[in-house]
Chains A and B, each alone.
Chain A
């Protein structure tokens, strides 16, 4: 009986040690993940003619907003309007 309870005690201690080690590993990895820097992004402004016959993309510049008229279409002379502003990662751009 004493031998069996001693064995259980040893097993319990071993399990507890494994659990604590696992918790510490999880804590360290999750901390590292939280500190990981996200890839840098850049903002793109997409401009199109209201008649949809011309489209260009350029880097975002301050003051841009979707619906802003930024000039006239070189093909038909209609207004050129910003229709999208979005972010892309620098890696995405290289592809």
Chain B
């Protein structure tokens, strides 16, 4: 069952690559399944762990994207990003499959029926949780926004078609005026599938503004608890971003350094909805979140203030 799911994912990426005219797509996918892993930095010595972690993440990302780009020299950056994300989804599915196969074979080797029984009981749930990942490949290869794109969608609503400046790799900033406030909006560069580097983009922008920032607002998708409504918009304090650490800590550090209040606006959804194509309910929730951000800007800042809004998430299908 799980093997079929992984093979379905691989087949989808292969079809996408064939459509793009890639030579020997099967070989191409197989090469990327096992070769790109990142090892966590040493955590018993926490000094500069964030810098080390950021360095490892960057190295892994660059290596992956460079190798994709080297094998597909004539593709646009957006297409390369879409291919890279599709390959990483298939790679993640393949890793889960390999771990489960490992325990299954271990159970058989040592005739450990308890281990095999646990696997048999948990397998249907794992298959159900992994199925959306295969659907996400469809969305990413077609360039359709996914649930995690709500942050960039709210950012788009604020900036419309305004000029975008690439301030950091795969991350853009636009400036708009909202009732006399200077509002800078940071988002991942679309419409390709990427999450950009919002934390580092914020740090660069703040440096340019010499720390004259009156408020920072982050908007992101957040995992709902079972029983909570999909598309519910909530507001709190802190950095709404779900990265492993380097980007989030950068946002927090900037807010502290500049003494800027840090707001978080979240749109609730399940983990499945976060990677599936955006539903109508979530598309409508983006409008509510946009109104909430406007409300924060209008009620908690005054004309002449400088506000930074960060639309966190994957910009697939969003300019």
A residues contacting B by CB (< 8 A) are 23, 26-27, 30-31, 33-35, 41, 43-44, 46, 50, 60, 62-69, 79, 81, 84-88, 92
For B125, the chain A residues whose CB sits under 8 A away are 30, 34
Is A43 a contact of B277 with CB atoms below 8 Å? yes
Determine the chain A residues whose CB is within 8 A of the CB of B317 once the complex forms: 64-66, 85
Provided the pairs A50-B160, A85-B144, A87-B278 are in contact, do residues A66 and B124 lie with their beta carbons within 8 angstroms? no
Question: A60 with B144: in contact, given A34-B1, A67-B161, A67-B318 (CB under 8 Å)?
Answer: yes
Asked if B282 is at the interface of the complex by the 8 Å CB criterion, the answer is yes
CB-based closest 3 A-B pairs:
A67-B319, A65-B191, A34-B124
| Shortest distance between the CB of B199 and any CB in chain A (Å) | 24
A79 to B160, CA, bound (A): 12
Q: Indicate if B204 sits at the interface (CB-CB under 8 A).
A: no
Interface residue count for B (Cβ, 8 Å)? Answer: 30
A68–B276 Cα gap in the complex (Å)?
Answer: 22
Nearest chain B residue, comparing its CB with the CB of A61? B142
Binary interface encoding of chain B residues 115-147 relative to chain A, with 1 for a CB under 8 A from any of its CBs, else 0: 000001101110110010000000000111100
Is B283 within 8 A of A84, CB to CB? Answer: yes
Let me know if B124 and A92 touch, CB within 8 A.
Answer: no
Residue among A41, A50, A66, A87 with the highest chain B CB neighbour number at 10 A: A66
| Residues of B with C-beta under 8 A to A84 | 283, 286
For B191, the chain A residues whose CB sits under 8 A away are 65-68
Closest to B143 in A: A65
